[in-house]
Amino acid sequence: MYFNSLQYLLFTAVVVSTYWMLVELRMLRLFVLLCASWVFYMSWSPLFILLIIGSTFLDYAAGLAIYRAERPGIRKLFLMVSMVGNLGLLGIFKYYDFFAGAIADSFRLLAAALLEWPGIAWSPLTTAADQIPFLNLVLPVGISFYTFQTMSYTIDIYRRQLEPTRSFLQFATFVAFFPQLVAGPIVRASEFLPQLRHRPRIDMEKVGHGLFLILAGLVKKVVFADYLAINLVDRVFDRPDAFTSVEVLVALYGYTVQIYCDFSGYSDVAIGTGLLMGLRLPDNFDRPYQSTNPAEFWRRWHMTLSSWLRDYLYFPLGGSRRGPIRSYVNLFLTLFLIGLWHGAAWTFVLYGTIHATAMVFHRFWVRLRKQDVDRVDSQAIFVFKVALMFHFTVLSRILFRAKDLDNASAVADQLLLGTTSVAQVAPTVWLAIGLAMAIHWTPKRWVVQVKEAFTALPALVQGVIMAAVGALLVEVATSDVVPYIYFQF
């Protein structure tokens, strides 16, 4: 059930209407919301709803057990049960085959090397490699997102930063809340559970903001992301040898726009849908391509993932409190795992490694020039930093988009050929990239002013605008369905 489908709009309209009709009946209201969320997920993966339900029961029980336990060892035991259960499922479904393949390839490489040494048995290594089992499991949609949500719940309880909820219904609704279930934002229980305990009130400002975000998210997805994917990006990555270097570069610019509009567009619709029910979800993007360095980029891009790994990995490892070398190691591990979180493939291993290295270098540079930390850059230096960081991001997207290392290598080779024709880039592609970039770099206050102006309009006028935008989206929508990029994670 894609956000940019009539099916989703009708589903949301029914759920939101029912939700408000039951506003005085909290238990029934949450029960309907939970059932709707499970139905939404089952439209993607009917069987895998059992994983969500199982994870919900596990962490609900673990949270209560951790909170009630007096002895530190018992509390840690229950936390480990939660962690092993969640990470175990994530590891089996997402990473098992990748690591099994890596081990098998290592055995074969070692066996090939031993062929040059007479008298050393190598055939057992080949046999062992051939006998490593592969599961070939389908990755459940959204497992990386809801796994992190439930883990943060038990960790916060273990840290005595959160009291567990006694209501299984509330906790299950937090885990499965349908707008952000499949691709975030990653929500923490401390932010969301208190909202479920109180009676929601109709706030026309929130509703207006929610409708505006939904429209903005759909425009990002349909007008920019899907159009660029179909008309340039997918074709270049499918056959890089059929395009010139400049066309490949334009496709990389296009993919940089596509992935932002695709993912931030999903987040906009998710946040907007939540606001229609009086429920606030955290922001997930803050104009990341305006960043001047890697640290700022990851504070602006997929903000809920970056802050999750900061609070539950980087700080527990010691952060920057244990000296510069340890802080570099901690920083590298955190950024490396951001890359690996996105997928079990060597392309994502390299993607994480490149961004981790850039982050460590930036931290080293800042530490080296500590005396200049308060210096204000000139306009020219600021523009140079933004352009440098932007193009670092653009080039690293080769690894993010390529289906494997061979595909990434082919794209990079074609980019370096130096051929200059742009005959295969349609004028509308240039327009889409340019317009999206222009919007991205407009002052943030302009967008706020437009949103507030839309919110201030009468409901009838808002409805007319929504209908007009909907008609436009139907007109420009591609005939092929383009899945949201982050559904694969």
Among 181, 199, 217, residue at a domain's last position = 199
Pair 157, 301 in one domain: no
Identify the domain containing residue 397 by its residue range.
205-476
Pair 209, 167 in one domain: no
Instruction: Tell me how far apart the terminal alpha carbons of the chain are, to the nearest angstrom.
Output: 17
Among 182, 199, 216, residue at a domain's last position = 199
Among 199, 225, 256, residue at a domain's last position = 199
Pair 173, 271 in one domain: no
Q: How large is the angle between the packed helices 204-219 and 245-276, nearest 10 degrees?
A: 160
Pair 265, 332 in one domain: yes
The SS3 assignment for 184 reads: coil
Q: Is the pLDDT of residue 8 over 90?
A: no
Whether 120 is in a domain gets the answer yes
Residues 6+ apart with CB under 8 A from 318: 326, 327, 330
Pair 470, 446 in one domain: yes
Whether 309 is in a domain gets the answer yes
Q: Is the pLDDT of residue 457 over 70?
A: yes
Q: Which residues of 257-281 are buried (b: 16+ CB within 10 A; e: fewer)?
A: bbbbbbbbbbbbbbbbbbbbbbbbb
- pLDDT tens digits, one per residue of 359-370: 999 998 888 877
Whether 487 is in a domain gets the answer no
Cis peptide before 185 (omega within 30 of 0): yes
Whether 10 is in a domain gets the answer no
Whether 122 is in a domain gets the answer yes
Q: Quick one: pLDDT at residue 118? A: 61
Average pLDDT, the chain: 89
Whether 19 is in a domain gets the answer no
Q: Quick one: pLDDT at residue 106? A: 79
Pair 189, 218 in one domain: no
- pLDDT tens digits, one per residue of 148-200: 999 999 999 999 999 999 999 999 999 999 999 888 799 999 999 999 988 88
Pair 191, 235 in one domain: no
Pair 211, 150 in one domain: no
Q: Quick one: pLDDT at residue 311? A: 93
Residues 6+ apart with CB under 8 A from 374: none
Pair 222, 181 in one domain: no
Pair 167, 259 in one domain: no
- pLDDT tens digits, one per residue of 263-300: 999 999 999 999 999 999 999 999 999 999 999 999 99
Whether 1 is in a domain gets the answer no
Pair 176, 278 in one domain: no
Whether 267 is in a domain gets the answer yes
Pair 109, 226 in one domain: no
Give the residue numbers annotated as catalytic, written as ranges. Answer: 342
Number of domains in the chain: 2
